[in-house]
A and B are shown apart, each in its own frame.
Chain A
Amino acid sequence: MIPAAFEYFSPQSVKEAIGLLEKHGDDAKILAGGHSLLPIMKLRLAQPKVIVDIGRISGLSGIKADGQKVAIGALTTHDAIERDAVLKEKCPLLAETAAVIGDMQVRNRGTIGGSAAHADPAADYPAALLALGAEIVAIGPKGTRTIPAGEFFVEMLTTALKPTEIITELRVPVLARGTGAAYQKHPHPASGYAVVGVAAVVTMSGGKCQSAAIGVTGVAGKPYRATAVEKALIGQSLDETTAAKAAAHAAEGVDPQGDLYASGQFRAHLASVYTKRAVLLAASRAK
């Protein structure tokens, strides 16, 4: 639990931070809340030579409504997201997801940008970001670009970010009338990470499912949209039977990961159960 030596920088602006990333290349790691990076540094599984602490850059945190979107600064903590009144009204799914991340200490320090950039395959946010069709805004030496969540999570611990890019903001849509959302999670009893986490966004019309977006985390090597479930839901009046039938496809086309706590087969089963529960809860909220 004694990290190797590193050089520490605390840039005051995004521009300065990008300059440091350009200068130090692969030797540099960005530090935000530190809840993913510091534990692996203490175990010396990561030994970055340079730490770029972006925590003191102003303007990277905060939540604001922006037309049909809500913009969340990358350094906004899970706790702030959980408690934010704007999010609770316009996109409660994200607040509901933040509320079940780790424990209180983690939620007080960890940030949404850091979680997204780390891309842990069992992190909670990715399920919600995928289901919501969120956008990740990143800035690099060549300026700002917007990456759809569906393209952002590339592989386990790998994102579409370039080494010199920093996430500045995430944008989630304001939920429309008739749309409900829910996040259902089976936490690992040790780590608190999602063994299975399912975010469902369901739009109902005339008692039938008009559209559905299902984001799943914890099951496979990266978070994914359960498109087979989504297809099977459309046109259905959602009850225990129809939802279960559709949710049976939750792990279709992915390779469920197994560990000491839950085998791949059991994870796939849990994915179906939690998908069913998330869908039914989301549908019940679709008003």
Chain B
Amino acid sequence: MAVSKLFGAKIKRREDPRLITGRATYTDDMQISGLAYAEIVRSPHAHARIKRIDVEAARRQPGVVAVFTGKDLQGVINPIPTAWLIPNADLKTPPHPALAVDTVRYVGDGVAVVVAEDRYAARDAAAQVRVDYEILPAVVDQQQAMAAGAPLLHADVPNNQAFKWALGNGEATAAAFKEAARDGVVIAQRFLNQRLIPNAMETRSVVARYNSGSGDLTVWYTTQNPHIARFLMSVVTGLPEHKIRIVAPEVGGGFGSKIPFYADEAIVVFCARKTGRPVKWTEDRRENYLTTIHGRDHITDLEVAARRDGTITALRGKTWANLGAYLSTAGPGIPTILHGLMLTGCYTIPNLDYVVYGVFTNTTPVDAYRGAGRPEATYLIERIVDLVAAKLTLDPADVRRKNFIPPDKFPYTSAEGLAYDSGNYGPALDKALAAVDYRRLREEQKRGPRNGKLLGIGLSTYVEICGLGPSSVVGSTGFQGGLWESAVVRLHPTAKATVFTGTSPHGQGEETTFAQVVADELGLPIDDIEVVHGDTAAVPMGWGTYGSRTTVVGGAAIVLAARRVREKAAKIAAHLLEAAEKDIVFDQGRFYVRGSPDKAKTIQEVTLQAYLAWNLPPGVEPALEASAFYDPTNFTFPFGSHVAVVEVDAETGQVALKRYVAIDDCGRVINPLIVDGQVHGGLVQGIAQALYEGAAYGRDGQLITGTMADYAVPKAHMFPTFETGRTETPSPHNPLGVKGVGETGTIASTPAVVNAVADALRSYGITTHLDMPLTPERAWNAIHGQRREVKAR
């Protein structure tokens, strides 16, 4: 067994120098001879019938190569599919044409495409495409969309209801509520999980090149999952999969928004085939806001039943999930599988009765955004646990402890039927409370407001499901793919290594962490290891990066492949050392016979011999590489405790986040720097949902928050220094003992901050529920509504 040297080391990200010095190549940086540019003409209306499209004026514009409409694509480009067909939910999958033919269903829906010699000519010509619309009534709110008489988006979808998905045991839950109504407490609350815009720093971009001679299609594009993109590209374009190469060059963030297969990539491929030119399309930020998927957008009515001692006995609720105008690739799975199945959180809540309605509206399609379903679930459970504590005048930390799944119950089967792999929730909470000196803060709070500032302390003890996932399980949920992962570890004759992963990191740092793992397994210097990802021509197969699965599943595949390489190398070393394989010891890159460390063969010597093949043991093939296909046996369930400390200015309602402590448990940590980075980024996005972000539509379906001057993307100065810490409970089924950590910050932090603000107001006798984002006006209205003056002290 190799002595671990790099596992756990704070190594700086190897990808950063090229990224921060402008030497990385993103899709929009691609330059190919003969490149033309596409501009997609988009609907300015949320709902309208297309009466006529006149492209003649646009065709005559200087520099225009071609103009196409939805009719040109008909029969050539298949409808854009959804890939998460949740079962037992009466899921409707109305067709989604790449370019609208007769009806547009949201502002931004594509109606035509202009191909021109440069981007300016394309934009100018696009403005000359004349579309005659008959404007139809629009609906943007999911509950209104289900009401009688609401405008219908799709002819064959009554009430705009895409699905109805139910979970739990209605009878047992009703009995628990009956009991609680008699002897305990029942609390009901409506929660809104507002719509968010993902805001990857790099907008989406596609470059497509079709060689009509060979029939090969190459598409460089901003995807988190090139192999899924290849599969769907084949489905949508009808081109055979083996003739399609998808390359994800440098990808500047995704947060889920680059998982889906969009109409746009199919349109660009169509243009490249029709014009015989390579074609580039890059969305601008305004287009990004309108057409790249949004996240969240749930309305939930939730009830909780509890005993007077704080023991929670049941949850019952309904959620209306806004799916937008069409089903995005994973759209139906996010508010159901990744949301409903995590509703009871880290608590032993035995009874659950939950229904989710998926609803079509005249808005941008909704899909996975960092956390994807789990932030929504965590928000619900962590908020309502606080409401139980408040109602019973118990400390929210005590109510949490009372309901925690005890450490000796793992693996624990939740009321939703998931098997949590491992957990030990108490120590993380203890550590978080100690970090903020919880008792002292409570005493401080008891003394009342200081300088007109209300002090609030908010907890969030979360657990989440990630490391997606065992293929058979996700298959049973209707996901139209496997979620295993592939790896190839190839040593070259000089013992430099190339590691191929089917995941597709785009900012998460696995070029570093995977190299750390391989360096340990093979005793190689980390600089001798290259991690290759994001190219279907180089990587055998894979399912991409999302759902905090890359290190958990992709890393496991890599460690298994690396161990296979080491086993083969050990055979060759034994042969060279004229010893039995069982007597060979491997230590830090050296093979030797047990007891004789002085006479060793290095991994470099063995690798060279493997390639020279002059003297290999019988039955051993030349070369030194191995592949592995790893399908996990379970998901991983990271957890932790976060504490937010806020001050609310009673005069203005302004919330100031004073401290934020995040104690996370993601199992074993390969690189603490990278884990901290993931946590920090997640916190920023989760806290921003609580305080700043929120997409808003007008009743006519126009996106009001259409630019970064209206939609509050958080800035560094809005946050205190994050205080991070960890406990370590390894995943028992993962070869590396790791759990995902890419989304924990987002999942945990939103309710921590909202709980803190609610706590601040409650300390002042104000119990009004506030919806996010907690703008000054909302907080001030709550305070002002009580008509109380805050006295200085």
Contact = CB atoms under 8 A, between A and B. Distances in A.
Interface of A: 1-2, 4-5, 39, 42-44, 103, 186, 188-191, 193, 240, 260-263, 266, 269-270, 273
A127 B775 CA distance: 24
Given A2-B119, A5-B124, A270-B652, A190 B709 contact: yes
Nearest to A42: B284
A133 B205 CA distance: 51
A1 B652 contact: no
B777 A262 contact: yes
Contacts of B707: 43
A2 B120 contact: yes
Given A189-B692, A190-B709, 11 more contacts: A2-B123, A5-B120, A39-B709, A43-B707, A188-B712, A189-B712, A190-B705, A190-B712, A191-B710, A260-B710, A266-B777
A76 B256 CA distance: 43
Contacts of A191: 709-710
17 contacts: A1-B284, A1-B285, A2-B119, A2-B123, A43-B286, A189-B712, A190-B692, A190-B708, A190-B711, A190-B713, A240-B792, A261-B775, A263-B777, A266-B776, A269-B780, A273-B651, A273-B652
Contacts of A262: 775-777
B718 interface: yes
B120 to A, nearest CB: 6
Contacts of B127: 44
A260 B704 contact: yes
Interface string B295-317: 00000000000000000000000
A4 B124 contact: yes
B740 to A, nearest CB: 30
A1 B286 contact: yes
B143 interface: no
A260 B775 CA distance: 10
Contacts of B691: 189
A262 B654 CA distance: 12
A189 B775 CA distance: 10
Contacts of B284: 1-2, 42
Nearest to B284: A1
Interface string B267-291: 0000000000000000011100000
Contacts of A5: 120, 124
B696 interface: yes
A1 B780 CA distance: 37
Nearest to A2: B123
Given A5-B124, A261-B777, A186 B652 contact: yes
A189 B652 contact: no
Contact of B654 (A186, A263, A269): A186
Contacts of A269: 780
Nearest to B713: A190
Contacts of A4: 124
A186 B656 CA distance: 13
Contacts of A43: 286, 707
A contact face: mostly helix, strand, loop, or mixed = loop
A240 B692 CA distance: 30
Contacts of A260: 696, 704-705, 710
A270 B285 CA distance: 32
B780 A189 contact: no
Contacts of B787: none
A262 B792 CA distance: 26
A139 to B, nearest CB: 32
Given A2-B284, A190-B710, A266 B705 contact: no
B424 to A, nearest CB: 38
Interface string B104-126: 00000000000000011001100
Contacts of B718: 189
Nearest to B288: A1
Contacts of A103: 715
A42 B708 CA distance: 13
10 closest A-B pairs by beta carbon, nearest first, are A1-B284, A189-B712, A190-B712, A191-B709, A2-B123, A266-B777, A189-B692, A273-B651, A262-B777, A273-B652
Nearest to A189: B712
Contacts of A2: 119-120, 123, 284
Nearest to B691: A189
A260 B194 CA distance: 14
Contacts of B792: 240
Contacts of A190: 692, 705, 708-713
Contacts of A189: 691-692, 712, 714, 718
A42 B714 CA distance: 23
A36 to B, nearest CB: 11
Contacts of B709: 39, 190-191, 193
B109 to A, nearest CB: 20
Interface string B701-728: 0001101111111110010000000000
Nearest to B711: A190
A193 to B, nearest CB: 8
Contacts of B654: 186
B617 to A, nearest CB: 62
Contacts of A188: 712
A224 to B, nearest CB: 21
A196 to B, nearest CB: 9
Interface string B624-657: 0000000000000000000000000001101000
Nearest to B775: A261
A44 B708 CA distance: 16
Contacts of B781: 266
Contacts of B711: 190
A188 B692 CA distance: 10
Nearest to B717: A103
A31 B619 CA distance: 76
Contacts of A186: 652, 654, 776
Contacts of B715: 103
Interface string B146-172: 000000000000000000000000000
Nearest to A277: B651
A39 B709 CA distance: 10
Nearest to A259: B710
